[in-house]
């Protein structure tokens, strides 16, 4: 596919009060991405005024600022609304681009090859995702993941992914909650409950790395907190038994 025929990809950065991470991650993307047809968009959830000034100095094509803090879901919705590409590369402000060369060209080709493919996962996942089928495209192994209603598999998440605009129309807008986890879980569950689109990974392609875990605004759910407490108690019990 010639460069002039490559479709527009809107690169959406979602940020709040972490302009140092945003700048670092944006620069890593611009340094490593060779894709020629990009629209750079940033959406900010009412960061401090001095931080907003620094954001405006970054080389984005579009800036979306909220007058009040509304949470991750609403911030993401505003950013998606501002994107004009048929493909949206959605990235949080704390993901470093560590790939080089044509990873985005490779991803766009995969999305264009399969009508049922809604998005590609572009970051490392902790959990093992269920497999629906394996396909080959342009010399790459494409692993489709199976949607299972009411499962807790994070096939779709707000971690870096490249998606078709039509996917947004199918699963709808993000839930607008100030609780980050609520918005993420709601979107995960809605994606898992439909079978119009599937998510996939390209084998051995993982172009983004998370670097901002220690500065997360996420409020852990009760299930997460109880799980962490259980693991801590189990470790204490094991240490006690070993000492005896």
22-65: pLDDT as tens digits: 999 999 999 999 999 999 999 999 999 999 999 999 999 999 99
Of the candidates 50, 11, 51, which has an alpha carbon nearest to the alpha carbon of residue 28?
A: 11
Dist CA 5 CA 90 (whole Å): 22
Residue pointed to by tokens 């396909």: 135
Picking from 131, 148, 138, the residue whose alpha carbon sits closest to that of residue 200 is 131
H-run or E-run covering 44: strand 38-44
pLDDT at position 1 is 37
The set of residues, in sequence order, having a beta carbon less than 8 Å from that of 184 and lying 6+ positions away, is 72, 157, 158
Q: Would you say residue 137 has pLDDT above 70?
A: yes
Query: How are beta strands 140-145 and 198-202 bridged, if at all?
Result: antiparallel
Residue 220 DSSP symbol: P
Residue 4: its pLDDT value, please? 60
Please tell me what DSSP assigns to residue 128.
P
| pTM for this entry | 0.86
**Per-residue pLDDT at 225 exceeds 90:** no
- Give CA–CA dist 44/55, Å, rounded: 9
| Cα distance between residue 6 and residue 101, in whole Å | 15
How many Cα atoms within 13 Å fall on the side-chain side of residue 100? Answer: 1
Residue 216 has pLDDT above 80, yes or no: no
Average pLDDT in the 67-72 region? 96
pLDDT of amino acid 22: 98
User: String of b and e for 153-185 (b: at least 16 CB within 10 Å)?
Assistant: bbbbbbbbbbbbeebbeebeebbbbeebbbbbb
- The arithmetic mean of pLDDT across residues 4-9, rounded, is 89
Burial of 2 (0-12, 13-18, 19+ CB in 10 A): exposed
Closest CA to 160 of 112, 202, 130, 195: 202
* Domains detected in the chain: 3-219 (3.90.550.10)
Q: In the numeric block, which tokens belong to residue 193?
A: 């409950």
More reliable by pLDDT, 237 or 173: 173
Confidence of residue 2 (pLDDT cuts 50, 70, 90): very low
């Amino acid at each position: 596919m010639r460069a002039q025929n490559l479709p527009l990809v809107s690169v959406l950065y979602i940020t709040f009060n972490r302009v140092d991470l945003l700048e670092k991650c944006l620069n890593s993307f611009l340094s490593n991405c060779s894709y020629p047809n990009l629209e750079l968009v940033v959406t900010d959830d009412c960061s401090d005024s001095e931080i907003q000034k620094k954001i405006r100095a970054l080389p984005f094509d579009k800036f979306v600022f909220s007058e009040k803090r509304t949470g991750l879901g609403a911030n993401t919705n505003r950013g998606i609304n501002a994107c004009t590409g048929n493909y949206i590369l959605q990235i949080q402000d704390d993901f470093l681009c560590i790939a080089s060369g044509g990873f985005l060209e490779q991803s766009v080709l995969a999305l264009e090859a399969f009508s049922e493919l809604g998005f590609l996962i572009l970051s490392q996942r902790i959990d093992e995702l269920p497999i629906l089928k394996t396909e080959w495209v342009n010399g790459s192994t494409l692993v489709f993941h199976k949607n299972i209603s009411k499962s807790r598999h994070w096939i779709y998440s707000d971690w870096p992914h490249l998606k078709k605009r039509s996917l947004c129309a199918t699963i709808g807008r993000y839930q607008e909650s100030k609780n980050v986890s609520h918005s993420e879980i709601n979107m995960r569950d809605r994606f898992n409950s439909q079978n119009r689109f599937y998510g996939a990974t390209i084998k051995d392609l993982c172009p983004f790395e998370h670097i901002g875990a220690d500065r997360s605004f996420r409020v852990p759910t009760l299930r997460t907190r109880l799980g962490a407490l259980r693991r801590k108690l189990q470790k204490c019990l094991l240490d006690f038994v070993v000492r005896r």
